[in-house]
């Protein structure tokens, strides 16, 4: 009976969010990225983590960890940029798994160059960068610093940066390109290539409290 109640509540919640997870809006909502991850990844043979900030808040309610250790969720216990070194270590420990982290452009600014470590160590991972040009967790924060110095705004071609570090860069600007990019990344990782997927995303402010 309890299981039925949980299933009923879950179905109602997913009905409210299914449109967002399958949204065709551009710039791309990060929820569409999560929806495609759910559809495309072989979850029993993948290990996924989020980064600090908005990617954590967006993925945690939705991505299903179907077997132990297939999803590494660490809440607010670590810093921006932790996902790349974490997944590089995971790939070294579990070389047969598809290892992927999802991060924002702010987090990439903290540890993005560590992709070179993944390349050099022969530990090919996939990194998704939600490239929205700013810090989505603090859209109205630090008004003086933001207006005077643009501290919460950032731009970059992260796919090209990845290529300069010896990885493969894939740029995604349309929702329908996400699934193909994930499939390419899986194959490239299997062939020993580290991958960065640069997703041109929006400054998403919707959150699920379920």
Report yes or no on 19 lying in a domain: no
Residue 74 resides in a domain? no
CATH of the domain at 131: 3.40.50.970
Q: What is the mean pLDDT of the chain?
A: 94
Phi, psi of 203, rounded to the nearest 5 degrees: -90, 75
Give me the residue label for tokens 């997703």: 199
Residue 64 domain-assigned (yes or no): no
Angle, helices 30-40/178-190, rounded to nearest 10 degrees: 50
Determine, yes or no, domain membership for 91: yes
44 in a domain, yes or no?
Answer: yes
pLDDT at site 92: 98
Residue among 26, 25, 85, 75 at smallest CA distance from 55: 75
Of the pLDDT bands very low, low, confident and very high (cuts 50, 70, 90), residue 137 is low
| Lowest pLDDT segment from 62-76, 129-143, 190-204 | 129-143
**111 occurs within a structural domain:** yes
Q: Is the peptide bond before 116 cis (omega within 30 degrees of 0)?
A: no
Res. 141: pLDDT tops 70: no
Query: What residues make up the domain containing 50?
Result: 28-59+82-153+161-167+176-202
Residues in the chain: 210
Supply the pTM of this predicted model: 0.93
Is residue 15, in this structure, part of any structural domain at all?
no
DSSP state of 129: E
Task: Spell out the SS3 assignment of 8-53.
Answer: HHHHHHHHHHHHHHCCCCCCECHHHHHHHHHHHCCHHHEEEEECCC
Q: Are 31 and 206 in contact (CB under 8 A)?
A: yes
What is the total count of domains within the chain? 1
Whether 74 shows a pLDDT value over 90: the answer reads no
Q: Which residue has the higher pLDDT, 37 or 155?
A: 37
- Give Cα separations from 54 to 39, 57, 76, 97, 105 (angstroms): 21, 5, 11, 25, 11
Q: Is residue 209 part of a domain?
A: no
Q: Which residues in 154-182 are b (16+ Cβ under 10 Å) and which e?
A: beeebbebbeebebbbbbbeebebbeebb
Q: What is the largest CA-CA distance in the chain?
A: 58
């Amino acid at each position: 009976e309890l299981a039925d109640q949980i299933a009923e509540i879950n179905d109602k919640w997913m009905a409210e969010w299914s449109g967002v997870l399958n949204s065709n809006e551009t710039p791309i909502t990060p929820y569409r990225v999560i929806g495609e991850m759910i559809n495309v990844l072989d979850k029993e043979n993948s290990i996924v983590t989020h980064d600090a900030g908005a990617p954590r808040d967006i993925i945690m309610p939705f991505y299903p960890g179907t077997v132990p250790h297939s999803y590494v969720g660490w809440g607010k216990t670590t810093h921006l940029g932790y996902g790349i070194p974490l997944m590089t270590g995971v790939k070294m420990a579990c070389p047969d798994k598809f290892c992927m982290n999802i991060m924002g452009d702010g987090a990439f600014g903290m540890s993005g160059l560590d992709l070179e470590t993944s390349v050099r160590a022969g530990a090919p991972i996939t990194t998704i960068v939600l490239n929205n040009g700013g810090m989505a967790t603090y859209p109205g924060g630090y008004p003086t610093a933001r207006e005077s110095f643009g501290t919460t705004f950032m731009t970059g071609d992260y796919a090209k940066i990845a290529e300069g570090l010896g990885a493969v860069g894939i740029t995604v600007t349309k929702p329908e390109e996400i699934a193909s990019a994930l499939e390419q990344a899986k194959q490239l990782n299997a062939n020993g290539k580290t991958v960065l997927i640069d997703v041109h995303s929006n400054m998403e402010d919707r959150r699920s409290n379920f």
